Structure 1
């Protein structure tokens, strides 16, 4: 979760695939749910906007009854979803003394809602197995879950909005982005350091493979995405809330 405040001029925001949906709630404006992305989505945020942001982990129940497949690569106003609580929570957010307090109001409500809805344990385990730190074949993951590949694909489409292979590609990209934003150093595999090392660490065959996938998912090269620096994000934003939970389950492989 985060607070984004634009300055005196509009801000061009490039939303990137994360594997999950996002809730964007501008103070004084209409909240919108952005479905899972398979490609970049560019939005111009007006000047003087204070935006509350929430990113849902892949497979976590969102605010859409019946799954998120219909929201793939598009956004929808919460009003269109018919939720009765939107006005009530909106009033509490507006009455909050600071944006941080408003974010806590939204956070507490969503946590309560998530506990009530529950999470499919099979999907939660599938997402864990598809993380980039220990690359696995989709068929092997399906077998580990006790499902056929077709059953696994249907379950993933319903809960996440994409098939398992597409989700795995997105998580691998997010793994690279998290390492870069955190200023991580490659694990020291022979002949693989710098950007090439980070690429290998998250499961890309080589740096060229990384470049192709990053351009497909973001519309930019890795250097363009990171502002010219492979080992840090130079846009000036604090991305800790994004990459810290993602890196929490990382296991460092042995050097070779």
Structure 2
């Protein structure tokens, strides 16, 4: 591991800090030049509240030229890389939100969230604007965590959550427990549906098929394993990661990585090496600072 000046400060909130959030991470950029960042797909929704004027994010690299900073980023289950303009002194709070909590937290299904337009103010309205304003006055990241958690607790509607089809929740749990390796036909049989019916319910709720969700989970698990090995050992055993995460071999992992991320695993590690050393990519999301 190198002794470089950290480019980022990452602070992880305690588990279960906010309803619907799988993780909450505060980030601040320090020794960071203007750069392009590749945001990886994830099985979680991306919810970012900026502590500055906003995040510049787009679904493609060319589209970045025409976007403006958004104080709130909210994105659905995208299956290809997105792109973020990283700037000096960039700061914010990023939450990886469970897609099945979208109804209860945001008042809409995850399927209704865009995977190409990420400015969340159009969905969240005055609530989102107020949340951003409150966070810009926060004294530190831990106070920002408390503000976000308080607002999400106030917004959370358990009655809306209870309208979720139990078969969808059970199927998600089975896929997640297997890290995306359980066959969809087996999942459907376990929850008492045909694969076709389960696919219809997943598309309606999540905007993705069970197979697509399983693929995201498997890719995400592999990415975390690679990131953890880089932090611990300074290098990654890609053949071992492939074997441990359900890919047939390293070549299969590389093909799937290129499909989801638009780059090889080694290329991604080269791009993200300093972020990985500084503690990035610990949370269940692949955006902005990670």
Shift of 1:92: 2.5
Q: Indicate the residue corresponding to 2:262 in structure 1.
A: 219
1:144 aligns with 2:190: yes
- Say which of 136, 152, 157 aligns to 2:203: 157
**Bigger Cα displacement from structure 2, 136-145 vs 151-160:** 151-160
Q: Is the 8 A contact 1:227 1:235 kept in 2?
A: no
Q: Distance in 1 between matches of 2:202 and 2:88?
A: 38
1:26 aligns with 2:26: no
Q: Distance in 2 between matches of 1:76 and 1:225?
A: 23
Cα–Cα, structure 1 residues 207 and 130, in superposed 2: closer, same or farther, change >3 Å?
same
Aligned length: 234
Greater RCO (CA < 8 Å, at least 6 residues apart): 2
Q: Indicate the residue corresponding to 2:213 in structure 1.
A: 167
Q: Is the 8 A contact 2:46 2:96 kept in 1?
A: yes
Q: Is the 8 A contact 2:180 2:218 kept in 1?
A: no
1:119-143 deviations in whole A, cap 9, x for unaligned? Answer: 6343332222113447221011011
1:101-154 deviations in whole A, cap 9, x for unaligned? Answer: 112211332245346343634333222211344722101101111112122112
Listed as ranges, the matches of 1:77-226 within 5 Å are 77-114=119-156, 116=158, 117-118=160-161, 120=164, 121-131=166-176, 132-133=178-179, 135-183=181-229, 194-226=237-269
Shift of 1:217: 0.3
Instruction: Quote the RMSD (CA, aligned, Å).
Output: 2.9
Q: Indicate the residue corresponding to 1:50 in structure 2.
A: 91
Gapped regions of structure 1 (runs ≥ 5): 185-192, 244-256
Cα–Cα, structure 1 residues 23 and 126, in superposed 2: closer, same or farther, change >3 Å?
same
Secondary structure of the structure 1 residue equivalent to 2:130: helix
- Compute the TM-score of the two structures, normalised by the length of structure 1: 0.79
Q: Distance in 1 between matches of 2:128 and 2:181?
A: 40
Cα–Cα, structure 1 residues 100 and 199, in superposed 2: closer, same or farther, change >3 Å?
same
Q: Is the 8 A contact 2:180 2:214 kept in 1?
A: no
Q: Distance in 2 between matches of 1:242 and 1:82?
A: 23
Cα–Cα, structure 1 residues 35 and 199, in superposed 2: closer, same or farther, change >3 Å?
same
Q: Is the 8 A contact 2:51 2:136 kept in 1?
A: yes
- Compute the TM-score of the two structures, normalised by the length of structure 2: 0.70
Shift of 1:74: 1.8
Q: Indicate the residue corresponding to 2:29 in structure 1.
A: 6
Shift of 1:221: 0.8
Q: Distance in 2 between matches of 1:19 and 1:225?
A: 19
Secondary structure of the structure 1 residue equivalent to 2:246: coil
Q: Distance in 1 between matches of 2:96 and 2:267?
A: 24
Secondary structure of the structure 1 residue equivalent to 2:229: coil
Q: Distance in 1 between matches of 2:237 and 2:270?
A: 15
Cα–Cα, structure 1 residues 76 and 183, in superposed 2: closer, same or farther, change >3 Å?
closer
Shift of 1:197: 2.3
